[in-house]
Structure 1
Amino acid sequence: MKLHILSDLHCEFADFVPPVVDCDVVVLAGDIHVKSRGARWASLAFSTPVVYAMGNHEHYSGNIDRTHSKLLDAAEAHVHVLENQVLEYGDVQFFCATAWTSLAATGDPVAASWCARDSLNDFRAIRVGEQYRRLRPDDLIARNRETKEWLEAQLSLPFNGKRVVVTHHPPLMKFVSDQGADPHLRAAYGNNWDGLMDFKIDLWIFGHTHEAVDEVVNGVRFVSNPRGYPTEETGFRPDLVVSV
């Protein structure tokens, strides 16, 4: 199966017209556009099936508890916006989630939480719950734990075909570079999910870091193909197609 892989298009800053490529499925690994606009954009931009995992920016200027349903409402039938959900297409399973992070990857989740709260726009731009309060680090830690437990349960089930995991946040810290003077800020950008590599996974697609990746680790191929912000050099290949 041929997958056209894209992430971090950030169409809220500059529009993107994808090239026509020979593929069976388009995979979007988050930060396509803010709110439900990414689902509307994908519905118009592609005629092939789309597998879409949300990023953090999809939640900007919105409520994290309502974003998924709004994207579902905006998506046409061929655009599958998935959160902690599996889509089986042909002989391939797609396991999709934003992922977020545990803020524990640098060894001090308290320090990382304070650093992230002070540094990241997520905690100013995203709201939570009926009271529409500001997002807190604990909210993301809980969602990260839920996704990890869900992946462990789903990947434990037998399946004879190919398995593709799609998350916005990286599953391994080897894909997260330094993020500034405070070393604990790195913990807000990725996960130490090395234990998940014990499961049968053929391909893991992610985004968020704005650094292109195509690497095999412990038998799993990891691919990230982010456009990033305007003028940013990320190694983006707009026509990237990967076979699985």
Structure 2
Amino acid sequence: MLLGLHIKDAHFSTTTWVLQSAQAAFQILSDLHLETGNQYKSFQVPVQAPILILAGDIGRLHDYENYLFFISTQCANFDQVCLVLGNHEFYGVSRAEGLELAYRLQREPSTLGKLSVLNRTRLDVDPSICVLGCTLQSHIRTENRAEVQSRIKDFRRIHDWSVDDHNTEHAKDLEWLRNEVDLIRLESKRLSREKTILVITHHAPIRKGSSHPKHEENPWADGFATDLLGVPEGISRVDWWIFGHTHFTNQWRQHGVNLVSNQRGYAFNTGNEAQLSQEPYQQRIWRIISSSFTREMRFDPRKCIEVKAL
């Protein structure tokens, strides 16, 4: 049952919902790429949980009215919609223009006050469950700079966007995440009550496992992921991490973190997703178990996780 949600955001503040019990169910989707074939009005999300996480690359904010239609539909169907901006959200506009369009979505009457744009934003979904969200662009190392710049379309499709801008935003997001995690852990110590931390980013926080194995060692992989787990300069003491961007669906546990991605990638709406959403429960469980042996998992529009308080 949803009672209220405390939101801490340096850019935009509102108060909407909070879960009554110390657990929360989230439905997870990313990389829908609805700009492909203009699928904003045709792609359907079967409701499986009260809170929907959209972990970036849903479409282009430049397609504002169509993007708004899709988001408004989800806000009508879910109790809460959490949106992290991916790189494709900014295609056709500058970063500043994209952020303004995203915050405009929050103010639209049709989103019913249910949309939270997570741009260095903390949501307390429950007194014991905290959500931290930001884009977290990857860190592009100097030796891979030219390769990434030539292969990644961001530097041609996002207005006034450079590798230096990309790395600067990565550093800002990383610093914000570290500070928020430290603050939450201090709160936990003061209250003698551990808090579960769920992080949502678009770019991946780890290289191995977040992309198809054949891509993990490519020099342009710097444009997709940064190793932030299990390293001194990274992020520690978080419980869940939701990400997208790599077009590789996977779920595993590493360095004490539950890592989850559910990425559609470039696809036309042929009805396969609708068929998958109606797949019998036992068949779907067997498919997921079988796929774990091959490290290949399929995008599932019904994908959910249940996060419990520690």
**Alignment TM-score > 0.5, same fold:** yes
The aligned counterpart of 2:138 is: 101
Does the 8 Å contact 2:178/2:235 carry over to 1? no
SS of the aligned residue for 1:127 comes to: coil
Structure 1 residues without counterparts, runs of 5 or longer: 104-108, 129-134
Shift of residue 71 of structure 1? 1.2
Partner in structure 1 of residue 195 of structure 2? 161
2:206 alignment counterpart: 172
CA distance in 1, matches of 2:257, 2:130: 15
Find 2:119's aligned residue among 68, 79, 83: 83
The counterpart of 1:198, out of the listed 236, 245, 248, is 236
User: By percentage of residues, which structure has more helix?
Assistant: 2
The answer to whether the 8 Å contact 2:36/2:268 transfers is no
Report if the CA contact (8 A) 1:39-1:72 is conserved: no
Counterpart secondary structure, 2:252:
strand
TM-score, L = length of structure 1: 0.87
| Partner SS, residue 116 of structure 2 | strand
Aligned partner of residue 159 in structure 2, secondary structure: strand
Q: State the secondary structure of the residue aligned to 1:3.
A: strand
Q: Secondary structure at the match of 1:66?
A: helix
Give the structure 1 partner of residue 302 of structure 2.
239
1:66 deviation in Å? Answer: 2.2
* 1:33 is aligned to 2:70: no
In the TM superposition, residue 40 of structure 1 has moved relative to its aligned partner by 4.3
Which amino acid is 2:31 matched to?
A: D
Shift of 1:217: 0.6
Instruction: Please identify which structure carries the higher strand content.
Output: 1
Q: Give the equivalent residue in structure 2 for 1:215.
A: 252
The letter of the residue matching 1:188 is G
Query: Which amino acid counterpart does residue 19 of structure 1 have in structure 2?
Result: P
* 1:144-177 Cα shifts (integer Å, max 9, x gaps): 0111111111100134332110000000011234
Partner of 2:79: 48
CA RMSD of aligned residues (A): 2.1
Q: Which residue of 2 aligns with 1:6?
A: 29
The 2-side partners of 1:38 and 1:143 are apart by 24
Q: Tell me if structure 1 keeps the 8 A contact 2:82–2:115.
A: yes
* Count of residues paired in the alignment: 230
State the Cα distance separating 1:203 from its structure 2 match: 0.8
Q: 2:50 aligns with which of 9, 24, 44?
A: 24
Q: Report 1:132-171 matches (<5 A).
A: 135-157=161-183, 158-159=187-188, 160-171=194-205
CA distance in 1, matches of 2:148, 2:104: 31
Contact kept in structure 1, 2:51 and 2:78, CA below 8 Å: no
After superposition, the C-alpha distances for 1:12-38 in whole angstroms (9 at most, x for unaligned) are: 1142200122x1211110000101454
Checking the alignment, whether the CA contact within 8 Å between 1:43 and 1:78 is kept in structure 2 is: no
Cα distance in structure 2, aligned partners of 1:240 and 1:96: 19
The runs of at least 4 aligned residues of structure 1 exceeding 6 Å deviation read 231-234
Letter in 1 for 2:72: S
Q: Distance in 2 between matches of 1:57 and 1:192?
A: 22
What residue number does 1:106 align with?
none
Q: Greater CA radius of gyration, 1 or 2?
A: 2
Percent of aligned pairs with the same amino acid: 27
* 8 Å contact from structure 1 (residues 112, 188) kept in 2: no
Change (3 A) 1:39 1:190: farther
Give the 3-state SS of the residue equivalent to 1:87 in structure 2: strand
Cα distance between partner residues in 2 of 1:146 and 1:114: 22
Give the whole-Å Cα distance in 1 for the aligned partners of 2:82 and 2:47.
Answer: 17
